[in-house]
Structure 1
């Protein structure tokens, strides 16, 4: 379901700065008809060269088969995206993009270019080709919705958070359908489990239908742009409606057996929030593949990265190497084995996706495999009391 967005000049995108010059700049930006959607002085500076050619600024609120809905100062218009590098999956128009648009009267009307993105939430596609898919652009917060109707999958949460950190946005985990966990002690334990897997990330239980926790979440998101992510049946549409204060998104019931739902939201939409800011609602994600998210993985597993600095070898795989500080922490009970297993899995996956598009990385990985294989043979020979110059005994 698509909801049109009307600019509201009365809602500033952020609070004014303290200096006089910054205050004047803020006043100009907040007076702009697109200020409610995040327009500011920096966007105006980026757009200035395009304004000289008579183009108009706008923000993409929905994309559908080569066409997009763009909010401009005059309202929402439909535009063609043909001229925006259609063959590059990383440069296609996406919900949240700021664009330069043909002026009024052009028929057909085209998006001529994208303004440089500040942040982008990208996952790998399910195809065998090495491609990324941009789910949302220019977001300040990545809200990961996790349903309490089913058992927590901490590994999936860590995967979402790795992509969120890598995007440049601040992640937030929302535990939806908290009304299904009436025992406050049990709910507190679930929150603690997620917090342990999400260092530095706010974790909020929310009862969206009752409104409990919604105000706290809205205050946390502020007046920027937030993207709402999660699997089908996670309660994203219900949460989006609660934040927007209106039934803008259709809602379907989930199955009682496994808590799964159908794709209520089939396109990405940008919704205005009553307290200021906007929310990008996305379809339910079946797969969440990493896309060059090494930095994000490191932030999700910050404690492991810190421990790894004490390993004897700088390229320690934290498996069977001598002097491994990470394995020592597991043996001492300081680090949960599940966390280490999840970390290894995401590191391997990220290396694999990067190697698919980078020949140098592929060569480094092959060289690393050869080195470790040789080390394994040498260790086996040492255990058998045989030097590397001695041939293996005949069988």
Structure 2
């Protein structure tokens, strides 16, 4: 039990035999590296697991607690099931297929990492905040490369981020001078799990190295012209920090495509939602209706146009993704019953 607690296990889970419990540390294609807090194992999925898994969301992800059969002498294990998750950060997988991709699970805090250069993008931050709230974890904004900016530039950037990340902690750090690192560690107590999310080149891997106080992640420079970075982290991996906290590093995302987030719109855009409450009509679309508090705020500059447009854009995107997911589910259901019918016909034909 004590070994699992080091990995973030909550002792309230007393009904489970912890002898067979481990946590997923890394996922690379079809292989999993897991730990029980004492020994690391190379694990694969059981045949029953593969047979029962219906969607990508059913498969283990970094941060998952799993029930396993250990082959201790060989340092191998067989994954039998994934335990219920308390949180999961999910995005729409890259490409044209409608499929969810789990980035990390059972996380307490999501560090949304942006650098204080060309990468600082308010619309992207809103997107990440929405997905973070939807995951069930608490968002924190981390602004890296503080050493490359003047104090005035840092303060201006923080004020800008505060206008879209309402009530969310914002920390400016420098991995070079260690400025802000102590403040960041205060949000990472022992036994808690955090995930670093952001674009490539924002300094996530460098930040991991700084927090671990050793070089464990490869780092590469960025182009000075546009601050674009190259992917250095190629897979998701969990590390234990010297203070006992757990940190999941993730590959940079060129674009965060939302999977779901309808329930988190109000938390992400609480300023817009707060204004909408004061509209004359409950079903106000904030277009040309009389008594629209949102339009009034836009006209007097209280609500920035860009923020409102992104609010509408994300709502449309979520509605579109939901339609695609519903259509996919309906198609899968039709295919399932077609196969059942085909099997039955084949069965009766053999009997005849």
**Normalization by structure 1: what TM-score?**
0.78
**Correspondences of 1:1-395 after superposition (within 5 Å):** 32-45=2-15, 47-48=16-17, 56-82=20-46, 83=49, 85-104=52-71, 109-150=77-118, 152-181=120-149, 183-223=150-190, 224-358=192-326
Q: Tell me which moved more, 273-282 or 127-136.
A: 127-136
**Normalization by structure 2: what TM-score?**
0.87
Within 1, Cα distance between the matches of 2:223 and 2:274? Answer: 42
Query: What's the offset of the Cα at 1:127?
Result: 3.2
Q: Secondary structure at the match of 2:57?
A: coil
Within 2, Cα distance between the matches of 1:339 and 1:259? Answer: 23
Question: Does structure 1 retain, via aligned residues, the 8 Å contact 2:25–2:35?
Answer: yes
Within 2, Cα distance between the matches of 1:119 and 1:63? Answer: 18
Within 2, Cα distance between the matches of 1:218 and 1:282? Answer: 19
Query: What's the offset of the Cα at 1:328?
Result: 1.2
Query: What's the offset of the Cα at 1:104?
Result: 2.9
Query: What's the offset of the Cα at 1:279?
Result: 0.1
Aligned length: 323
Query: What's the offset of the Cα at 1:87?
Result: 4.6
Query: What's the offset of the Cα at 1:73?
Result: 4.3
Q: Secondary structure at the match of 2:42?
A: strand
Assess, with a 3 A threshold, how the Cα gap between structure 1 residues 353 and 191 changes in structure 2: closer, same or farther: same
Question: Does structure 1 retain, via aligned residues, the 8 Å contact 2:233–2:251?
Answer: yes
Q: Secondary structure at the match of 2:3?
A: coil
Question: Does structure 2 retain, via aligned residues, the 8 Å contact 1:209–1:238?
Answer: no
Query: What's the offset of the Cα at 1:151?
Result: 5.0
Assess, with a 3 A threshold, how the Cα gap between structure 1 residues 74 and 178 changes in structure 2: closer, same or farther: closer
CA deviations on 1:119-176 (whole Å, 9 max, x unpaired) are 0001112333332111000000000110113152100010011000110111011111
Q: Secondary structure at the match of 2:139?
A: strand
Q: Tell me which moved more, 333-342 or 99-108.
A: 99-108
CA deviations on 1:69-118 (whole Å, 9 max, x unpaired) are 00014410000025255551111110000001103359773100011000
Name which one, 1 or 2, has greater alpha-carbon Rg: 1
Gaps in structure 1 of 5+ consecutive residues = 1-28, 363-395
Within 1, Cα distance between the matches of 2:185 and 2:38? Answer: 28
Query: What's the offset of the Cα at 1:202?
Result: 0.6
CA deviations on 1:276-317 (whole Å, 9 max, x unpaired) are 210000000011011110122221110111111122333322
Question: Does structure 1 retain, via aligned residues, the 8 Å contact 2:7–2:37?
Answer: no
Query: What's the offset of the Cα at 1:185?
Result: 1.4
CA deviations on 1:182-219 (whole Å, 9 max, x unpaired) are x2112101111001110011111111121111111011
The aligned counterpart of 1:392 is: none
The aligned counterpart of 2:347 is: none
Within 1, Cα distance between the matches of 2:176 and 2:45? Answer: 38
Query: What's the offset of the Cα at 1:40?
Result: 2.0
Within 2, Cα distance between the matches of 1:40 and 1:152? Answer: 36
Query: What's the offset of the Cα at 1:334?
Result: 1.7
